């Protein structure tokens, strides 16, 4: 047994010795193989060479090279509120010369501030720190005149411009700029820098030539990324981006080119360029829910820019727009046009400013303006564009349709700002409680007589107040609203004033299915003719 145990131990030690030797030999062999792999011969490999640059010819790059040097970055600085407030107070002091025709930003300016942050974040109460903002612009005169958006430089205490040729130094703001003039109505501003030598300029194009589907480039500094170029197409023209008001819109001078070229915060004021290398618009706003581009951008057309620019660089440094002293409804149902005989185009006059040019020329509320100097007028936008561009003091020949007969009236052109400077609206008492009405079943409304005091204040001879509108009814479909005053109900065959509730019931009872019906309506606010009538209409089911 002893010998057997000794033989087993001997065999075990021998086995362990053999295994150890195998492990050592494997390690040596592996190391030898690795060493051989690392020493592979690569003497026959050829080194890479960088070829000479090849210029890929395309219109985008050619246009960018031509236009880019005239596109600038605009840096603005808004000082703390305490320092800036005194300057603002000084600017708001009464004019010793007695000229009250001052232009101030309207609701549309707040709209642009929401889109692009504005200057100062839109909250003066928090302006305790110096803040900087960035926008774009483009040089139109080699002596240093630059066009940009008003909202880019609005409320800024310091404005700096960086040229394409300036060194890329983040500590250097650029060339100091001063404001030449601004027009909040179109959100256009002109600034100037002093130049020691002629500066490169853009070539302005005619925006009327732009067609939906045309390629365009947007150039600017989105998100502080200077000299950025994006491409897209013209996706729409003559676009409004604010809901119109009752008299054609509070921002009736803003009609945009819509594009899907990426426009982002910082692109404001930069040019929109066509394939001829001409600037056909200025990037102004975006439609977005995330403060980033979603493929819907808006540019102010170059034709509007040129007209505004020429007035801002004039000695007055402000925009003077012509007016004839009327208000009109922005849009009307087709039935209204058919009832009053202007289904193919025209502008329905809601009110005439007392002692204004239209009033002196014989224009009356209810007239339809169908031509200017013999040229047809399609709608209110066309009328405003034509009249506002006319020189104050000149005259126009208006073709007017009244009682189905056309006549020509000679009307002067006045300063829009001065003409409407003193017009305001007053709030009136609410309408009396509703009563049952005979037109409820046919029209879907209930009415009550207009109180005498309210009729006198509004300058009307009577009428009925809508006290309730049934959802889904005929009145609801044509947008008749509670609180409106119906003063007249017209059809193609008859035009009958609503003097009281009895007259209203008589007229409504005579209406038949299929009739084109138009309602002349007055709001329960305003004083005299300044309030003006509104027209609603539709085909009675």
Specify if 153 maps to a domain: yes
- The helix/strand/coil state of 359 is helix
With cut-offs at 50, 70 and 90, classify the pLDDT of residue 86. very low
Which positions are catalytic? 151, 187, 268
Give the E-state strand segments of 142-208 in sequence order: 145-149, 158-162, 175-183, 188-193, 203-204
Residue 141 phi/psi, 5-degree rounding, is: -140, 130
Which of 228, 224, 225, 186 has the alpha carbon at shortest distance from 68? 228
Do 188 and 217 share a domain, yes or no?
no
The pTM of the full predicted model, rounded to 2 decimals, is 0.62
With cut-offs at 50, 70 and 90, classify the pLDDT of residue 78. confident
Specify if 213 maps to a domain: yes
Rounded-to-integer distance, Cα 110 and Cα 154, Å? 11
Do 238 and 169 share a domain, yes or no?
no
Total count of domains within the chain: 4
Do 233 and 357 share a domain, yes or no?
no
Do 81 and 149 share a domain, yes or no?
yes
Specify if 270 maps to a domain: yes
Do 306 and 354 share a domain, yes or no?
no
Which of 76, 67, 134, 119 has the alpha carbon at shortest distance from 268? 134
Residue 313's pLDDT is 95
Q: What is the CATH number of the domain that holds 234?
A: 2.40.10.10
Do 362 and 456 share a domain, yes or no?
no
Question: Can you spell out the DSSP letters for 3-40?
Answer: HHHHHHHHHHHHHHHHHHHHHHHHHHHHHHHHHHHHT-
Do 406 and 460 share a domain, yes or no?
no
Q: Highest mean pLDDT range out of 123-127, 169-173, 288-292? A: 169-173
Count CB neighbours of 304 within 10 A. 21
- The helix/strand/coil state of 534 is strand
pLDDT at 113 over 70: no
Last residue of a domain, one of 130, 163, 193: 193
Q: Which domain holds residue 67?
A: 61-89+105-193
Rounded-to-integer distance, Cα 421 and Cα 323, Å? 12
Task: Kindly give the pairing relationship between strand 278-286 and strand 203-204.
Answer: parallel
pLDDT tens per residue across span 271-311: 999 999 999 999 988 765 555 556 688 999 999 999 999 99
Q: What is the CATH number of the domain that holds 338?
A: 2.30.42.10
Average pLDDT over residues 499-525: 88
Specify if 497 maps to a domain: yes
Specify if 377 maps to a domain: yes
Last residue of a domain, one of 291, 312, 333: 312
Residue 439's pLDDT is 75
With cut-offs at 50, 70 and 90, classify the pLDDT of residue 83. very low
Which of 126, 123, 176, 180 has the alpha carbon at shortest distance from 148? 180
Residue 537's pLDDT is 92
Do 179 and 231 share a domain, yes or no?
no
Specify if 318 maps to a domain: no
CA distances from residue 242 to 111, 250, 267, 374 in whole angstroms, order as listed? 8, 8, 20, 31
Do 208 and 303 share a domain, yes or no?
yes
pLDDT at 403 over 60: yes
Last residue of a domain, one of 132, 166, 193: 193
Specify if 36 maps to a domain: no
Specify if 32 maps to a domain: no
Do 68 and 185 share a domain, yes or no?
yes
Is 362 in contact with 349 (CB distance < 8 Å)? no
Do 304 and 405 share a domain, yes or no?
no
Do 177 and 291 share a domain, yes or no?
no
Rounded-to-integer distance, Cα 201 and Cα 96, Å? 39
pLDDT at 188 over 70: yes
Average pLDDT over residues 342-364: 88
Rounded-to-integer distance, Cα 479 and Cα 439, Å? 16
Average pLDDT over residues 123-129: 49
Q: Which residue has the higher pLDDT, 206 or 436?
A: 206
H, E, C per residue of 69-130: HHEEEEEEEECCHHHHHHHHHHHCCCCCCCCCCCCCCCHHHHHHHHHHCCCHHHCHHHCCCC
∠ Cα 17 21 23 (to 5°):
120
pLDDT at 125 over 80: no
Q: Which residue has the higher pLDDT, 430 or 511?
A: 511
């Amino acid at each position: 047994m002893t010998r057997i145990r000794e033989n087993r131990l001997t065999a075990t030690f021998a086995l362990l010795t053999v295994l150890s030797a195998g492990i050592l030999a494997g390690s040596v062999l592996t190391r030898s193989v690795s060493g051989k792999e690392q020493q592979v011969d690569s003497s026959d490999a050829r080194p890479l060479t960088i070829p000479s640059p090849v210029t890929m010819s395309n219109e985008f790059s050619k246009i960018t090279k031509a236009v880019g040097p005239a596109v600038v970055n605009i840096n603005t600085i808004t000082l703390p509120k305490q320092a800036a407030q005194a300057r603002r107070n000084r600017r708001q002091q009464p004019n010793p010369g007695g000229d009250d025709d001052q232009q101030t930003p309207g609701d549309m300016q707040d709209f642009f501030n929401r889109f692009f942050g504005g200057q100062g974040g839109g909250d003066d109460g928090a302006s305790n720190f110096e803040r900087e903002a960035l926008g774009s612009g483009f040089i139109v005169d080699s002596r240093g005149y630059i066009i940009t958006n008003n909202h880019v430089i609005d409320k800024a205490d310091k404005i700096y411009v960086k040229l394409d040729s300036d060194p890329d130094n983040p500590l250097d703001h650029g060339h100091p700029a001063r404001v030449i003039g601004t027009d909040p109505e179109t959100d256009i501003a002109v600034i100037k820098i002093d130049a020691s030598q002629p500066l490169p300029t853009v070539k302005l194009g005619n925006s009327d030539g732009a067609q939906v589907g045309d390629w365009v480039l947007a150039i600017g500094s989105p998100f502080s990324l200077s000299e950025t170029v994006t491409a897209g197409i013209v996706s729409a023209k003559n676009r409004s981006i604010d809901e119109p008001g009752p008299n054609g819109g509070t921002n009736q001078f803003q009609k945009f080119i819509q594009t899907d070229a990426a426009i982002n915060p910082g692109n404001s004021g930069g040019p929109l360029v066509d394939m001829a290398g001409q600037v056909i618009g200025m990037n102004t706003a975006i439609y977005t829910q995330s403060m980033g581009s979603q493929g819907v951008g808006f540019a102010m057309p170059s034709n509007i820019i040129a007209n505004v620019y020429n007035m801002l660089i004039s000695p007055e440094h402000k925009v003077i727009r012509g007016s004839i002293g009327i208000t009109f409804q922005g849009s009307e149902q087709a039935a209204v046009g058919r009832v009053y005989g202007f289904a193919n185009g025209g502008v329905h006059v809601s009110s005439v400013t007392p002692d204004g040019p239209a009033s002196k020329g014989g224009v009356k509320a209810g007239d339809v303006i169908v031509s200017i100097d013999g040229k047809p007028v399609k709608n209110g936008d066309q009328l405003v564009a034509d009249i506002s561009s006319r020189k104050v003091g000149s005259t126009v020949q208006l073709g007017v349709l009244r009682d189905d007969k056309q006549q020509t009236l000679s009307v002067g052109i006045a300063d829009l700002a001065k003409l409407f400077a003193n017009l305001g609206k007053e709030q009136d008492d609410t309408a009396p409680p509703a009563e049952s009405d005979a037109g409820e079943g046919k029209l879907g409304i209930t009415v009550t007589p207009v109180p005498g005091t309210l009729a006198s204040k509004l300058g009307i001879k009577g009428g009925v107040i809508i006290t309730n509108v049934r959802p889904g009814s005929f009145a609801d479909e044509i947008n008749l609203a509670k609180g409106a005053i119906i003063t007249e109900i017209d059809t193609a065959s008859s035009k009958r004033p609503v003097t009281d509730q009895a007259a209203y019931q008589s007229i409504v009872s005579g209406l038949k299915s299929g009739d084109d019906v138009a309602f002349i309506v007055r709001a329960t606010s305003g004083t005299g003719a300044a309030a003006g009538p509104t027209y609603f209409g539709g085909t009675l089911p």
